[in-house]
Amino acid sequence: MNNKYFAPRVNEYVFCLAERAAEIAGTPIKAEWIYCQWAHETGQFTSELMQSNHNLGGLCQVEKNDSSQPDGDQYYIHFPSYEACAEYFGYYLRNYREDGIYGAETLADYVRALKHGGYFGDTMENYLAGTNRIFEECFSAEHEVTEDD
């Protein structure tokens, strides 16, 4: 059995939500990838959007509301809870099947599929640098411990 020790920077509650989203999305999507994406999208879980809309990933809709997206003609989704956002997100990731998300073997592959599908407007270089930094800080191999430890 492998127990995971989380670096102090990991928000364990949000990681549990990422696990739920990954479970819904299906193999090979990893909770760590989703967590890093959410941390990048929300400024390490401090953004006003996250706190006021329970929106962990900058998810948008075309239906008008009071949360307009500044760089487009869509509106941020307001979720009733973080759990609802995580479940929605798991199903939402299935939309990136044709973009190669289910062929992802690494965080970079996952991010590449999201970029190809238009999930984010940032440069691939910047988005990947942000998610990679978070991954290294939170989930590098040195943080794993086995039952024998």
In whole angstroms, how far apart are CA 128 and each of 107, 112, 115? 8, 8, 10
- The pLDDT value recorded for residue 53 is 97
- The pLDDT value recorded for residue 7 is 66
pLDDT-derived band at 4 (thresholds 50, 70, 90) equals low
Tokens of 67: 């949360």
Residue with more model confidence, 8 or 130 = 130
Once rounded to an integer, what is the mean pLDDT over residues 48-59? Answer: 96
Residue with more model confidence, 63 or 1 = 63
Residue with more model confidence, 32 or 5 = 32
Domain regions of the chain by residue span: 7-144
- The pLDDT value recorded for residue 9 is 82
CATH 1.10.530.10 fits 7-144, yes or no: yes
